[in-house]
Structure 1
Amino acid sequence: MILVDARIVLVPEMRRVFIAEVQKVMPLVRSEAGCNRYELFTSATSPTVIHFLEEWGSQRHLDEHLTQPHMQEFFAKTAKWHAAPTELMIYEVISARKITMND
């Protein structure tokens, strides 16, 4: 399993339109082979910082995702709205388990 944390810093005035574009592409991404999770989060303390948290079945699935036409269009359209280069943290997970905590 591959986990990705893609950190994006946006130009402040483009935040709302960026999120609208993400909402358009999100169903397409979630239907891709090997996509187990694809979520968008915004920072509570820095509203222009956006994180995509992604879970892919394999590196091959992630690589294929990045070359999909809808992603290429999304990257081309939104790149100019970034205030800094996108930073990716990619984790290869060997195993995982679910624990339910009692509050």
Structure 2
Amino acid sequence: MLLIVGTVRLPPENLERAKPVMGAMVQASRAEAGCLEYVYAEDLFVPGLIHVKERWIEQAALDAHFASAHIQAWRASWEGLGIGERNLKVYEVSESRAT
């Protein structure tokens, strides 16, 4: 399994305009084959900071995601929304456990 965790940042005043675009991205990504989880969450204490968490069954599914039309539309929206800072990491996970 692949786990993607990180953040993206945008000007807080653009957040309301970004939400429908982000919602479309999340909904389309969750419908993709191999997507186990896809979440954007607004930070409660840092305006404009969005936490990202994705889980993918395998690299081929993630590769297909990166080639999808909805991710291309999402990336095309970044400049207009002021999304510049992105800090995302991919982790290979062999197992999970409850804490």
TM bracket, shorter-chain basis:
0.7 to 0.9
CA contact (8 A) 1:8 1:82 kept: no
* Cα distance in 2 between the residues matched to 1:58 and 1:82: 31
TM-score by length of 2: 0.87
CA contact (8 A) 1:2 1:90 kept: yes
Q: Who wins on radius of gyration, i.e. which is larger? A: 1
CA contact (8 A) 2:2 2:91 kept: yes
Change (3 A) 1:33 1:79: farther
TM-score by length of 1: 0.84
What is the count of residue pairs matched by the alignment? 99
- 1:88-99 to 2 correspondences below 5 Å: 88-97=88-97, 99=98
Q: Cα RMSD between the aligned structures?
A: 1.7
The percentage of aligned residue pairs carrying the same residue is: 28
Which 5+ residue runs of structure 2 have no aligned equivalent?
Answer: none
How much has 1:83 moved relative to structure 2? Answer: 4.9
Which 5+ residue runs of structure 1 have no aligned equivalent?
Answer: none
